Amino acid sequence: MSRHWSNPDCLIPSRHVFGVDQTLKSSYLLFSITVIFISGCGQSDTPAESADSSQSAHPQSAQPHSGPPHSGPPQSSAATISIDALRTHIKELSSDRYGGRAPGSEGEILTLEYLQKSFRKAGLKPGNGNSYTQQVPLTSVEVTNKPVLRFSGSDNHDLQLSYPDQQVVWSRQQITSAAIKDSQMVFVGYGINAPERGWNDYEGVDVEGKTVVMLVNDPGYATQDEKLFNGNAMTYYGRWDYKFDEAARQGASAAIIIHDTKPAAYPWTTVSSSWTGPQFDMVRQDKGSNLALVEGWITYDSALTLFNKAGLDLATLYETARKPGFKPVDINLTASVSLNNEINTVNSNNVAALVPGSEYPEEIFIFMAHWDHIGTDPEIEGDGIYNGALDNATGTAGLLEIARVVGSLKPSRSILFLALTAEEQGLLGSAFYAANPLYPLRNTVGGLNMDGLNNFGPTHDITVIGLGMSELDDYLEHQARLENRVLKPDAEAEKGYFYRSDHFELAKLGVPMLYPNSGYDHTEKGTAYGLQMSEEFTANHYHRPSDQYDDSWDLSGAVQDLEIYLQTGLEVANSRSWPQWHDGTEFKAIRDRQRQAAE
């Protein structure tokens, strides 16, 4: 997936994690002094507030961003990003001792200890009152049987798909069993209902209680027509989580996506390793009763067999689904499957550390990275630890290094460092923070997310996922230009990376966010080398136990990137500007309402 080490299709659930027994739950009391729930438990110093209009206002002196960025008084510090310290953090966090850093595991306890110790050593204050942690209640649902997905027709010969080689199914409803029996099936194209684009794949069909089957990505990618959706660049409608949610809104009992490697941007092995084992979600008061009872993927070859059995040509349906005016197609088969689930609740944690602003402490800039990975698979012979060295021990290490430098400075605005949990399980830690911010979102000037750093040497460019979406680009471009580097847009926009990492949860609630990644154009070996390194990682190591630290990694490029990220954040923190989303961006209206309410 290029050099972008986020989860495979925006929100990928966890594979295998350690269970949490009473001993581990008791241990969490050491790290969960202050609990922030959606109901709003109080804490000292700065209370958590919801993301709505109850948030406090910005000072009147704050001004919208306009023209080139202008920072306040320059900051000086003898501290710089240390390649040795960066390497040490990566090696430690990705070591076998941490067991893959799964939420709710012993590896989480070790990670929390390490992060808090590092933040204290850097001189940062607790970010949640007197605590460095923000508790994130999660529920896991794990399929305990090996469900057979059966399709039946009039020929009395059932098509049965095995788990997980041909299909992977699960339920997000937090219940001990889920089943569909002889559920009528409907092909709904890309499963999109976008009235603002004049597109409705559900038009003229009632799918209440039925099983819908749909394609991955969106018609813009399929046609490469820039006038259709966003052309090659994936929209939110192309993401699997949107498709499942829309199917539920339409009343479907089950929703199945046909896996297709190129438009999905990851192979079937990613599906079978990521959507099996415990699937984490927020604790849902209604147990998720508004969701489809069964969700899942089937392989492309299985889909061919399925549609042949129904007397339909899948290639023809691909062609018609990408055209305006598509109409749903009855598959004339029924689907049946039965799931047995084990339900567990665990309290995981975000880690928050603060450098208070010297002049405007109530205004916040955020640096963020997710600390979690996907744990240990006990069923793998030999090494079953998903160490997550590049994804995302590198980003977490970068967060600690930037914090160490900023800890010796006195920025005008406060700078918050967030190490987030459960990104691999669906951006859950960042979603919880966005719903329960430790500092009001309308007081949050912007942020920068790090999800995987460069491990192959310096580049001339910096890739910016979502380049052109907000005025924060101006700050990043300014700092890059000072180092004779350039910003480049995402070379793989069709994969929808902007929607696939933690910054998205704050962005969709209005906060301007940057998501920079390492570039491709290696200073000595050129762009082809950078692309080769990207493709090699995705094919061989992404979300696999082989994502391990190697002493051969050239982290000099990561250090150069981090220096630019650091200076970008400082420039924003030392300015009086409020960077805005650009016109046409889906988050602009939300932010505009926040700012208007603040004045």
Give 131-190 pLDDT, tens digit per residue: 999 999 999 999 999 999 999 998 888 999 999 999 999 999 999 999 999 999 999 999
pLDDT band at 497 (very low <50, low <70, confident <90, very high): confident
pLDDT band at 64 (very low <50, low <70, confident <90, very high): low
Neighbours of 289 (CB within 10 A): 12
pLDDT band at 17 (very low <50, low <70, confident <90, very high): very low
How far is 28 from 368, CA to CA, in rounded Å? 22
Q: Is the pLDDT of residue 383 over 90?
A: yes
The pLDDT of 439-452, averaged and rounded, is 97
Q: Which residues contact 342 (CB under 8 A, 6 or more apart)?
A: 141, 142, 144, 176
Whole-number pLDDT of residue 37? 31
- As a whole-number percent, the residues of the chain with pLDDT over 90 amount to 76
Q: Is the pLDDT of residue 38 over 60?
A: no
| Interior angle at CA 476, CA 472 and CA 481, nearest 5 | 145
pLDDT band at 340 (very low <50, low <70, confident <90, very high): very high
Distances (CA, A) of 422 to 7, 182, 348: 11, 35, 8
Instruction: Give the residue from 454, 344, 338, 335 showing the smallest Cα distance to 394.
Output: 454
Burial 127-139 (b: 16+ CB within 10 A, else e): bbbebbbbbbbbb
Whole-number pLDDT of residue 49? 36
Give 468-480 pLDDT, tens digit per residue: 999 999 999 999 9
DSSP state of 268: H
Burial 19-30 (b: 16+ CB within 10 A, else e): ebeeebeebbee
Q: Is the pLDDT of residue 46 over 60?
A: no
Instruction: Give the residue from 218, 191, 194, 219 showing the smallest Cα distance to 207.
Output: 191
The pLDDT of 55-63, averaged and rounded, is 42
- Indicate the range of 73-77, 117-121, 452-456, 479-483 predicted with least confidence: 73-77
Fold annotation for 22-140+346-598: Aminopeptidase (3.40.630)
Category of 178 on φ-ψ map: left (φ > 0), alpha (ψ -120 to 50) or beta: beta
**DSSP one-letter string for 17-74:** -----HHHHHHGGGT-SS---TT----SSS----SSTTSPPPPTT-EE--SS---SSP
Architecture of domain 144-343: 3-Layer(bba) Sandwich (3.50)
Q: Is the pLDDT of residue 542 over 60?
A: yes
- As a whole-number percent, the residues of the chain with pLDDT over 70 amount to 87
How far is 257 from 463, CA to CA, in rounded Å? 30
How far is 23 from 30, CA to CA, in rounded Å? 12
How far is 70 from 474, CA to CA, in rounded Å? 10
How far is 36 from 48, CA to CA, in rounded Å? 7
| Interior angle at CA 488, CA 487 and CA 489, nearest 5 | 130
Whole-number pLDDT of residue 110? 98
pLDDT band at 63 (very low <50, low <70, confident <90, very high): low
Instruction: Give the residue from 182, 158, 159, 178 showing the smallest Cα distance to 169.
Output: 178
* Strand intervals (E) in 301-421: 329-355, 360-370, 413-420
Q: Answer yes or no: are the C-beta atoms of 459 and 522 closer than 8 Å.
A: yes
Mean pLDDT of the chain: 88
Domain boundaries, the chain: 22-140+346-598, 144-343
- The residue ranking higher by pLDDT, 397 or 36, is 397
Whole-number pLDDT of residue 579? 97
Distances (CA, A) of 72 to 273, 411, 569: 48, 9, 12
Q: Is the pLDDT of residue 87 over 80?
A: yes
- The residue ranking higher by pLDDT, 325 or 22, is 325
* Lookup result for tokens 């944690």: 349
Long-range contact pairs involving 316-322 (C-beta distance under 8 Å, separation at least 24): 317/187, 317/189, 318/215, 318/222, 320/189, 321/187, 321/189, 321/190, 321/201, 321/215, 321/219, 321/222, 322/189, 322/190, 322/219, 322/222, 322/223
Q: Which pair of tokens denotes residue 53?
A: 């209009």
Q: Is the pLDDT of residue 86 over 50?
A: yes
